[in-house]
């Protein structure tokens, strides 16, 4: 019998939730991600240290600020990763721009230009934006320019509907963080996979997209255990941390498909204007709290990366 990871790859595109070169080489995912959080981890990766050192020295020689070097460093790591994966590398826009559409678009275009200067075409990357109303509007503009986007920090159907209407290439609903919130609220240690709130959220979004012919890719993210992954087998894509990928690779068991376009539960297609979006987010404390918390955490790691560059 083949491993669960091999079986999963037959029905789902597996993405590595890491920017560590050594891990990507070993795990051979189709896609991967780079952001300040993952670049911080890569800085302690022996396979990446020389490249990071060279990029920081290059930035200083060009009289760039630590913040500007941080921006180029994230792209430099992404450019290295494009040499290792056949698919896309998601690259994050500064979290501080999450409520500024114009600034997000400007930063995204600068990321694309930096990749181009490193001989990486825009069809090899995804611009990663927080699923705020402003971030979704930025994605709409970028998609019309042929720049594909990954809408992250997605916790609600309101966000999923708005992303679909904006023509986003891909969304990343966060399974584990949804589960964390409900575990704290309910005072429980965990849930059976089919009852897991994070799993149920992704299944609902997946079904809504498939039964309504929405082409936006659903990529489940933020997993706490392999049972959540097993419960979403068949999802378009799943981005999985190296430790959980290793666990799936070691497990020899039958992995049944759980999600399929042909079995999607039907639901009526909806529209989502700004007023409806903000009202539905306001009515969902989990989505509101986790989105705000996620943006704060992304920014905290961004600040840590600036500090690392400053003290390198």
CATH of the domain at 95: 3.20.20.70
- Is 135 in contact with 107 (CB distance < 8 Å)? no
DSSP-assigned letter for residue 232: T
What is the domain extent for residue 203? Answer: 4-311
Query: Is residue 56 helix, strand or coil?
Result: helix
**Local confidence pLDDT in tens for the 312 residues of the chain:** 799 999 999 999 999 988 777 888 888 899 988 877 777 877 777 777 888 889 999 999 999 999 999 999 999 989 999 999 999 999 999 999 999 999 999 999 999 999 999 999 999 999 999 999 999 999 999 999 999 999 999 999 999 999 999 999 999 999 999 999 999 999 999 999 999 999 999 999 999 999 999 999 999 999 999 999 999 999 999 999 999 999 999 999 999 999 999 999 999 999 999 999 999 999 999 999 999 999 999 999 999 999 989 998
If you compute the radius of gyration of the chain from its CA atoms, what whole number of angstroms results?
Answer: 19
- The token duo for 147 is 């720049």
Q: Is residue 218 helix, strand or coil?
A: strand
Measured CA to CA, the distance from residue 138 to residue 133 in angstroms comes to: 9
128 is catalytic: yes
What per-residue confidence (pLDDT) applies to 121?
A: 97
Using DSSP, state whether 87 is helix, strand or coil: coil
Burial code (b: 16+ CB inside 10 Å, e: under 16) for 46-75 equals eebeebbeebbeebeeeebebeebbbbbbb
From 25, 116, 128, 200, active-site residue: 128
Number of domains composing the chain: 1
DSSP state of 83: T
pTM comes to: 0.94
The pLDDT assigned to 143 comes to 98
Residue 168 near residue 216 (C-beta atoms within 8 A)? yes
Give residue 40's pLDDT: 81
Q: Are 84 and 15 in contact (CB under 8 A)?
A: no
| Residue corresponding to tokens 């009515």 | 283
Cβ atoms of residues 169 and 148 within 8 Å: yes
Its sign, for the CA torsion 204, 174, 282, 197, is: positive
The H-assigned helical ranges of the chain are 4-11, 21-27, 36-42, 46-61, 66-82, 101-117, 133-144, 157-165, 175-186, 197-211, 226-230, 242-250, 274-282, 285-311
- 3-state DSSP assignment of residue 276: helix
Predicted local confidence at residue 46, as pLDDT: 77
């Amino acid at each position: 019998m083949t491993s669960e990871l091999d079986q999963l790859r037959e029905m789902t595109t597996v993405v590595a939730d890491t920017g560590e070169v050594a891990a990507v080489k070993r795990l051979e995912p189709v896609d991967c991600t780079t952001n300040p959080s993952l670049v911080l981890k890569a800085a302690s990766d022996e396979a990446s240290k020389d490249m990071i050192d060279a990029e920081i020295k290059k930035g200083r020689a060009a009289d760039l600020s630590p913040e500007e070097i941080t921006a180029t460093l994230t792209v430099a790591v992404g450019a290295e990763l494009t040499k290792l994966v056949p698919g896309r590398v998601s690259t994050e826009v500064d979290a501080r721009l999450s409520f500024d559409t114009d600034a997000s678009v400007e930063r995204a275009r600068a990321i694309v230009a930096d990749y181009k200067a490193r001989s990486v075409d825009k069809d090899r990357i995804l611009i990663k934006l927080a699923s705020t109303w402003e971030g979704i509007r930025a994605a709409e503009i970028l998609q019309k320019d042929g720049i594909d986007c990954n809408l992250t920090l997605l916790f609600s159907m309101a966000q999923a509907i708005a992303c679909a209407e904006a023509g986003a290439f891909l969304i990343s609903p966060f399974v584990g963080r949804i589960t964390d919130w409900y575990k704290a609220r309910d005072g429980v240690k965990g849930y059976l996979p089919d009852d897991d709130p994070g799993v149920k959220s992704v299944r609902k979004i997946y079904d809504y997209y498939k039964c309504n012919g929405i082409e936006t890719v659903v990529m489940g993210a933020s997993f706490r255990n392999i049972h959540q992954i097993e419960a979403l087998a068949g999802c378009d894509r799943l981005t999985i941390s190296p430790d959980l990928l290793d666990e799936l690779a070691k497990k020899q068991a039958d992995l049944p498909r759980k999600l399929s376009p042909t079995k999607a539960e039907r639901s009526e297609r909806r529209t989502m204007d700004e007023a409806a979006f903000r009202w539905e987010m306001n009515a969902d404390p989990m989505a509101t709290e986790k989105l705000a918390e996620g943006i704060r955490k992304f920014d905290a790691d961004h600040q840590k990366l600036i500090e690392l560059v400053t003290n390198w």
